[in-house]
Amino acid sequence: MQGQLFTQDFLARGITETEPWKALTDGELDGFLASLNRVFARVSSETVLNEAQTESEIIEPVLTLLGWGDSWLSQVNLSESGRDDVPDYLLFPDSDAKARAILETSEDLRARHGIALLEAKRWTRPLDRAEPSDQSTRRAFDFGAPSSQMLRYLSRADVMSDRAIKWGILSNGSVWRLYWQDARSRAEDFFELDVASLLGVPGVESENDGYEGRHGLKLFLLLFHRGAFLRQTWDREERSYHAVALTEARLYEEAVSQNLGQRVFRELFPSVASCLGESDLHASKDAAGHYTREYLGELRESALVQLFCRRFRHDV
């Protein structure tokens, strides 16, 4: 898995304490996984599907499993003039919002009824680099790397929807990415899962950060499901599940960092300082054999330097 939208500690452990995770039963998850396996049963890493085929065979069936039903429109133009910004799907919170969008007299006004975008690419196409230009097969307005294209569409949708659309999904059928318009670094702060790899599709390999398939696919269901984009009635502030997850991820990271810091200064720092003092043949001591006040200050600084350098080398 790539991307830094949610911390890995939160995705592995913290998310299991959230209400939707606990509320999803094993039976519901089993049913979702069975249906998902049927969608991917006909493909492998060697399968050749163009973009339209990937949409009909993979993307749209998966959208249905994720609760989107028919709450989407394809090829909605986000440009006031021309056709420079036409994502593959505009996703709506419900069918009523879609109905209102269809009634708009100008296509670019439909975005104000949406809640997210989805851009689809051909099966297993790389998402972070442009493919060699082939004018006979390249779709018009395919702006190089799909990830760059997604960010362009998301910025445009944010404006055209009057900031109603903050989320974008980018997928090549196998890899599914979730982008957030307000992320500190949208190019890096996304959430990604290789669904085909988690399902064990032949020939598709991905690290997926060591998640076993069931955990990773439960993440996929909860974070890409239509319900995750909606207000959560169980949350006192009625935030979306994504908003709750972003907040909880930050709080979880802060708690882990605080606990680590306390452990460092309760256990590791005294041990390092003691080792430095015992190994220093020139340590300054008073007549009673105790370290002098001045030497203790030096020892403290040396221990902090050792801890900092170790942390720096680990981070690098």
For residue range 163-195, list pLDDT tens digits in order.
Answer: 889 999 999 999 999 999 888 777 788 999 999
* Confidence at residue 284, expressed as pLDDT on a 0 to 100 scale: 76
Q: How far apart are CA 45 and CA 123, in angstroms?
A: 9
What's the pLDDT at 135? 46
**Tens digits of residue pLDDT in 279-297:** 776 677 777 767 787 777 7
* pLDDT value of position 96: 95
- Structure letter (DSSP) for residue 121: -
Going from N- to C-terminal start, the domains of the chain cover 8-230, 254-315
> What pLDDT score was predicted for residue 80?
62
Residue-wise pLDDT tens digits, 189-203: 899 999 999 999 999
Query: What is the C-alpha to C-alpha distance for residues 40 and 42, in angstroms, rounded to an integer?
Result: 6
Higher-confidence residue of 3 and 231: namely 231
Determine if residue 21 is left, alpha or beta; phi over 0 gives left, psi from -120 to 50 gives alpha, anything else beta.
alpha
User: Average pLDDT, stretch 213-228?
Assistant: 95
Angular region, 238: left φ>0, alpha ψ -120 to 50, beta rest: left
pLDDT confidence of residue 230: 94
In this prediction, residue 114 carries a pLDDT of 93
Hey, what are 110's tokens? 């439909």
Average pLDDT, whole number, for the chain?
83
CA distance 154 to 166: 7
For the chain, the C-alpha Rg in angstroms (whole number) is: 25
Q: Give ∠ CA 95-73-228 in degrees, rounded to 5.
A: 60
Query: 46 or 212: whose pLDDT is higher?
Result: 46
168 with 179: CB under 8 angstroms?
yes
Question: Angle at CA 246, nearest 5°, toward 232 and 87?
Answer: 80
pLDDT in tens, 236-266: 898 999 988 888 867 655 555 555 555 555 6
Tally the residues of the chain: 316
Give the lowest-confidence range in 126-130, 225-229, 302-306.
Answer: 302-306
Predicted structure pTM score? 0.77
Note whether 115 and 98 are within 8 A (CB): no
